[in-house]
Amino acid sequence: MHGKPLRRIGEDCPDGATHKSVRQDICILLDRIHGFYESALDRLPAERIPSLTTRLLKAGVCFGFLDPVSNIIANTVSYTPSPEDEIKEEDEIISKVRTNTKDERIFDIPLYPETVDSMTVARRSLEGLVSFLCFQYRYLEKTEALRYLRLAGCDLLGAVALIEQDRNRSPGEPVFNIMSPTTKIALECAALSARHPEPAVLVGVSLSLMSRTVKVSKILGALCCLPSAAVKRLARLLRASIDLGADRKRKRKRGELTPRNAESVEWKPGMHGTFRHTQTLKLLLLGKIHGFYLEALALLPRDGLRQLHHCSLIKGGYCYGPMDPVSNIILNTIWYGTAFPMHQDFEFDFQVDMICTRTLMRIECCSLYGIVAFLRARFSSLSEHGALWHLLLANVDLRLAVEMVQQSGFLIGGTDLDAYKKAAVDSWHSDPDALVKFTTLSLDIEPTKLSHMLAHALDDCTVEHLTKLVSKSSPTKSKKRARLLNKVSSCSEILNKNQKMLIPAIRKKFKADQEFYVRKVNAALNKFSQQTGVDYELHIICGVNPKVCEGSTTYLYKKRFKYEYFHINFLATPKGSDPATTPRELFFAECSNGDNDEEERPSLCLPVLGSSIDHTRCFFCEHSGINIVHPYFGTYNGRRDDFQEMASGRQDVLIQTIISRYEFQVDGMFTLKEDWIYFDPNMDAKIAQMNPIPDWARKVREWGRIF
C-alpha cells in the first residue's frame, strides 16, 4: 500500500474560533454566570448564617448536575469552612464575584496554573465548566467547549445534550450517564481546575443530589430566600449522602462492574447542530470506522482470518462500496485476496493471531479519505467539512450519506464510476482501476440474500461461496497491474540483499512477539473464565498499546520511562459454541509487560460490548494515538491519574496536545515499518524501492516489541 502524501483532512480548515470570538464568548458567559450568583445570593440567608459568604467564594462554583443557581447553593452549603477563613460582608461579595474584564489573564484558555487561585469564583466556575466538557468528551477543544456553553446558556447539562446530539450516537450506544466513571472523573477534574478546596466533596454532593432529587427539590424549589433551618437541613442531607457514598466506594474492588441504573440526560427541544471543528468530525468518524472493522473481524471465520484474510484486510479491505460499511469491508477483503494473492514465496508459514495495530489504523484512515473523496467527486460543490458532517449523520454509510447530501440541496455532478475512481486513488488502493470495476459490477446473487449472508458470522463454506462469486463477477487485475506483474519474475528483481534478510528476520520476530501477547491474553481470559464459569477461545488480537505505566506519567522519568503494562483489545468466542450462531465478543485487557510478574501485577480482563472508542478516556492510549476500546465501567491505568494532574496544573500536557498527538497517529497515510511483515513483491515494489535498508540486523535490533 503506497501513494502520494495527501494533505490531511481539515489541516487548512478554520475552526471558527478567533482571538476576538473567544474573548466575546468568555465575556458573555461570565455575564451569565454573574447573574447566577446574584440569584443565589438572593436565596442564601447570609445575614443569619454569615459563613455562607465565605463558603460561596471558596467553594460555591456553579457547575454540577442541577441548574446553575441550585449548584451554587448546594456547593456553598456542603463546604465546611476552616477556622482561618475570614467571613466576608454580604455587600462586598458581589464585587468579589464579578470578574474584571480589563484583566487580560481571564481570557487565557486554559488559565495558567499560577493565576487560577487569584481568579474570582465566577471565572473559576467557567474554568470548571469548560474542563468538565473537555475531560468528558474526546477531541473536544476548549474553544469548542466555550461555544457549546454559550449556546446552552451556560447550563452544563444543556451543553452536554448539544454535544451528544451533535455526535450522533449510533443506536444502542450508551448516552451520557451521570453515574459513569468517566463522568465522575470529568467532574473531579472540573473541581480541580476550578481549585475547589474539596473536590471529592463536590463530586459526592453532585451525585447525591441526583439520587435525592425529591427531597432536594423541596428545599431548593422555592425562589425566595431560604430559611436558616432549610439550609441546615440541606447541609445534613448532603453530608450524609457523601459519607454513604464514600463507604460504598471503599467496598468496590478494581474492575468490578457497576449496574447502569442511573438516569441519563434527555434531549432538550429546539437544539440544533453546532459543529465548527473539522478535526473533531474527522476523529469521531475514524472512531466509528474502527468499530466497523472490529465488527468485520468478528464476522470472518477464525482459521481463514489467521491464514489469509488478515493480510487482505489491511491491504484492500476498505469500508466503502455499494453496501453497508461492515459488508463492504468483508467483500473487499475477500475480493482483494482473490484478485491479488500473495506471492507464493512470501506466504506466511505460521498462523497470524494478531492484526498489527498501526496497519489496521491505516486502512481505517484510508477508508475515510476514500469515502470523503467519493462524496466530493459526486457533489462538486460539497465542502470537505460538509462531507464529514453528512457522513457522521449517516453513520459512515455511503449510500445513506449520498441521499442526505441530496436532501440538503446539493446537485449530483460526477458519475459513480468517477467517484469510485477518485475514492480508490485517494485511499491508496494498489490497483484503483480493478477496484472500480469490482465495485460497480453486480454480483451473481440477490442483494437481500447477500445482505443476510453478511449480517451473520461467516463459516469457511460461506467465504468459499463468496470467493467464487467475486471471482466470477469481476475482473481481477487492471491491464496496467498485469503488465507490472509480468515483470516480477522473482524477488531478486525487487529486493536488495539487506531487504531479503530483513523480511524473514522481522517475521520471525513478529511471530515471537505475537506469541507473547497471545500467552498474556490467554492467561487473562482464563482468569476471567474462572470468574464467569465460561471458557473462551481467542479469535484475533486487534489492537495493542504497550506503553501504559502504573499511576501518573508525571514521575515516569524516575522509573527510567519504564511502562509496566499494556492495553489490548481482542475478540474471543466461548469454547464449544457454534461459530455461526454465537457472536465473537470484544474484550479489553490490561496486562503486565513482564514475562513472570502476574502475581505482582495481576491482569484485568473485561468485555467491552456496547462501548466504543469515544465513550471512555485513557490518557496513555490517546497520548500514544492508539485505538483501544476501553470498558465503560471498571478501573484501569490511564483512566484517572494523568487527567487529574492536567486539571490541577501539575501535568504539562494540555487537552490540545493530546488531541494533536492522537490526530497525528490515527490520521496516518504513510508507509509503516510493519509493511515489511506483509511484504509482497507483486504489490509492494515501491515500498522496497523507497526503503533500501542499509543494515537489516540493526533495523531488527532497534525495533521494539511488534504490536
Residue 529 has pLDDT above 60, yes or no: yes
- End-to-end CA, the chain: 19
Note the pLDDT tens digit of each residue in 402-422.
999 999 999 998 889 999 999
The per-residue pLDDT for 144 is 93
Note the pLDDT tens digit of each residue in 144-185.
999 999 999 999 999 999 998 888 766 666 678 888 899 999
pLDDT band at 477 (very low <50, low <70, confident <90, very high): low
Where exactly are the structural domains of the chain?
19-249, 278-493, 497-701
Share of the chain above pLDDT 90, in %: 55
The per-residue pLDDT for 479 is 58
Note the pLDDT tens digit of each residue in 292-334.
999 999 999 999 999 999 999 999 999 999 999 999 999 999 9
Residue 514 has pLDDT above 60, yes or no: yes
Return the minimum-mean-pLDDT range out of 207-211, 271-275, 352-356. Answer: 271-275
Query: Cβ–Cβ contacts within 10 Å for residue 4, how many?
Result: 8
Note the pLDDT tens digit of each residue in 599-612.
778 899 999 977 77
Angstrom distance (rounded) from CA 685 to CA 695: 19
Note the pLDDT tens digit of each residue in 50-66.
888 889 999 999 999 99
pLDDT band at 271 (very low <50, low <70, confident <90, very high): very low
Peptide bond into 110 cis (omega under 30): yes
Residue 486 has pLDDT above 90, yes or no: no
pTM comes to 0.90
Question: For residues 628 and 665, is the Cβ–Cβ distance under 8 A?
Answer: no
Q: What mean pLDDT do residues 358-367 have?
A: 96
The per-residue pLDDT for 476 is 56
Query: Cβ–Cβ contacts within 10 Å for residue 533, how many?
Result: 6
Whole-number Cα distances in Å, 257 to 253, 606, 608, 635: 9, 9, 11, 9
Q: Is 31 exposed, middle or buried (0-12, 13-18, 19+ CB in 10 A)?
A: middle
Residue 440 CB partners (closer than 8 Å, separation 6+)? 416, 417, 420
The per-residue pLDDT for 272 is 42
The per-residue pLDDT for 583 is 86
Q: What mean pLDDT do residues 692-697 have?
A: 89
Question: For residues 197 and 55, is the Cβ–Cβ distance under 8 A?
Answer: no
Return the minimum-mean-pLDDT range out of 161-175, 362-376, 611-625, 649-663. Answer: 161-175
The per-residue pLDDT for 13 is 62
